[in-house]
Amino acid sequence: MNLLKQFINNTWVESSSAQHLEYYNPYTEQVLGVVSECSTDDVNRAVQAAVKALPHWRCLSSQARGHYLSCFADFLEAHKSRLVREVVQNNGKRLLEAEMDIDDAISCYRYYAEVSATLEDEQSIHHPSYSITRCYEPLGVVAIITPWNFPLVTSAWKIAPALLAGCTLVFKPSEVVPLPEQSLAQAAIEMGLPEGVFNLVNGGASTGVALTSHPDVNKISFTGSNSTGSAVMRMAAKDVKDLTLELGGKSPILIFPDVSLEAAVEAVVSGICFNAGQMCSATSRLVVHKDIEEALYDRLSNAIAQISLGDPFNQSTGMGPLTHVKQLEQVNRYLSLAKQEGLEGLTCNQVAQRPSTGYFVRPHVFRNVPRSSCLWQEEIFGPILCTQSFRNDEEALFIANDHPFALAATVICEDKEKARDIAKRLQAGTVWFNTEQVVLPQTSWGGFKHSGIGRELGPFGLDAYRGVKHVMGPLI
């Protein structure tokens, strides 16, 4: 059975801990392999390797560091077919979705490699009386912790800008989906990345605690649940570490009465069923105009009935399984709460059959869900859609914005100017109008309110790993 080790100082090493964690294929429910869980001593060795590598790495030019990012992209491209298979096997997402993920990761590394060509580490600031130089410096050693829903994508969003900024890092992928991320270590070996710049540790919560609480870690970048994010924030507070948190979402999708019902239903289904709804940006709150409410629900019912559950490697599969059994239990718990609350489920003419194996749950839609309901308020991370209707624009905006999360939103409206105006008035870090959920490396990712702190991607993602210093003196 495949045993995943730790990658420290460019070497695969055995953990000093005797603890092991199994990771699974969510479709077959069979064990794929075993993770050797990091001990506190292992984490310390990884951090110290990053500390030792920092002086040399930070002194390299941005262009030199960018070269290594190109090498990461080249490696992912060369091994794409294998990586796609590993993502499908370990995560359970459909083949098409896994292919999109690898392409997104490659694009991220390439984007920051391109940025490196013109990146300035110093700028002269004109002043009549003083000589002023603005310097951009790496924050230091970075702890990176990613979730299980988008392997290789979320890590690229963090690793690429951190390395370009001149930081060294220790990366802990999710213990639930660790397999695809191990290839990043192999990429580091093949490209000749200097020792200690990139370190990878495997493990669960105890490994995460050891990493985020380490006194020599200067920056933490975490993506995951709000409960864990709050714990990470408390850890960071002890040493006043710099922090980026990308947390939960409960994103709205607003449907206006002038739209094509077919296009609207396609957007609604994609927004809640892509990756089996396991996205922080999943548009799990449907806000629809009363004039088209019943017609939309009728078409939505038919569309959901046609979604086939099955083997994620099968091209005809409409939705794969949830990624792990605990997530299946989580979603089923919310379905039980919906029954207790007496929520009205949308009736489908057919019911997608659950395969004999796999962590499957069919999509559910609940109509007219009170805003006080936990299904409306809380992130479920599964294909569960809650709806409300509106009569006018102001009511639509109030329903959408009256929520503790503010990560993303979608507007479907034939009037493009109105769609853009509504998008600007929504409280969210990213708003799509009349398009699918596309996240480009040139833009940004992150939200307001309970959805986190800071931004990733674009120049904002790079700035998250650089500090600003001004050097001042008399005119020379």
Q: Which residues are catalytic?
A: 246, 280
Q: Is 466 helix (H, G, I), strand (E, B) or coil?
A: strand
Tell how far CA 317 is from the center of its chain: 23
Angle at 379 between CA 373 and CA 380, to 5 degrees: 90
Buried b (16+ CB within 10 A) or exposed e, 17-39: beebbebbbbbeeeebbbbbbbb
Identity at 286, one-letter amino acid code = L
Cross-strand partners of 222: 145, 245
Determine the Cα–Cα distance for residues 301 and 282; give it in Å rounded to an integer.
19
DSSP character for 319?
A: B
Confirm if 45 and 187 have CB atoms less than 8 A apart.
Answer: no
Kindly list the distances between the CA atom of residue 355 and the CA atoms of 146, 324, 329, 359, in Å, as whole numbers in the listed order: 29, 15, 17, 9
DSSP character for 224?
A: S
DSSP character for 326?
A: H
Q: What share of the chain is helix, strand, coil (3-state, %, to 5)?
A: 40, 25, 35
Contacts of 374 (CB under 8 A, 6+ apart): 334, 337, 341
Confirm if 310 and 317 have CB atoms less than 8 A apart.
Answer: yes
Burial of 473 (0-12, 13-18, 19+ CB in 10 A): exposed
